[in-house]
Structure 1
Amino acid sequence: MKGQFIVIEGLEGAGKSTAVNTVKTWVEAHGKIAQLVREPGGTPFAEALRELVKRDWDESITAEAELMLMYAARVQLVENVIKPALARGEWVIGDRHDLSSRAYQGGGRELGDAVLLQLRQLTMKDFQPDLTLYLDIDPALGLQRAHSRGELDRIEKQTLDFFQRTRQRYLEIAASEPNIVVIDASCELEQVQVQLQAALAARWPDNVCE
């Protein structure tokens, strides 16, 4: 049986790493092999692109250049890691995927949908996650949490307005696509975990996972 692709999305400080582990535990409890991936990254070439994207440079990085680097890393991960794993029947859990570019570059960078649609069609074609869990949090709270973790990367240092635009785009897309579930990430950890488990159980009842 083909595996399933679950993606965790959200702003900085939303708790994606914890959510990934919660989903992994749920998947493995249902007898499936879970493979974790992250974006950008996940292959040697994609990890090198991740370093380019996140590093501070002594020049202005255009929104278009940033977007193309993201999709270059993404297509490498999809073709070389995710699709083969799904074909083996493994469940892949992704820390970010295409929705991040639609929100961060499309919304935060204000590139809009037209340029993203062209890149998505070129690189992803009809490939998409089976379920996306979007961890929604007020950007101010998320950034406060992110700051408490230590040094921020280039994208994490963007203005509050940038993250507010990004969140707005996340919510707009989530409202229009049925395979995206919004999780209230401002709750206590235990409550967030309950929401995640409920979303997974609704998408894959026990008798389907067996």
Structure 2
Amino acid sequence: MYENYRSEDFRKETPDEYFDRIINYDSKHSENYHKTNWIREKLKEEWEPNNILDIGSGGGVLLHTLGEIYKNASLFGVEPTPNFADLASRRTRAEIKNDYFKGKPFKNKVFELITCCQVLEHVEDLQEFLLDISNSLAIGGYVYIEVPDISDFNELPLDHSRFSEPSHLWYFSSEFLTKYFESYGFQKQVDTVKKTVRNRNNLMILMKKISE
């Protein structure tokens, strides 16, 4: 599925058309704008990361926007879909690996900010995945997680496309993610549930690594 997820036959637009469409949405209709604005606001304007890693970076639209905010940061991404990884490499200044996130994909690099949007719901082994995140993040660094919130089960019909996507293995609550991350040395900073322009509820949560 991931090999063909952004194919033109599947999505009816080229990768570059997708990239241009997303980055040119006005702020009112751009989910990308709202999440990056939320991250910057919660991390305070004076905070500056040296290295940023986006797990499941897609076509690079989030990295593109983060790069405009944090102009001195080095950008990195991991993306399993080949033409998405190629797109992000071409359209951003990030170093992109076409692979699944595992271990330490950039060897000796340590990150002050890791973003992981709409990824955890696809991961079979959450324990191993969170351990790899922890090992890649500096003490005092932050991880931003965005996942489907369980409140959708109360608000959307059960035949909604939100629940029919075969790759979704999990839906999350803030309480679960907070406790799970705490067991890996993280402390929750802030969270919110935001309704998207597509009328779905996404849990947005910012964690800080406070210990190994």
Query: Aligning the two structures, in what range does the TM-score lie when normalised by the shorter sequence?
Result: 0.3 to 0.5
TM-score, normalised by the number of residues in structure 1: 0.37
Q: Which has the higher contact order (CA 8 A, sep 6+)?
A: 1
TM-score, normalised by the number of residues in structure 2: 0.37
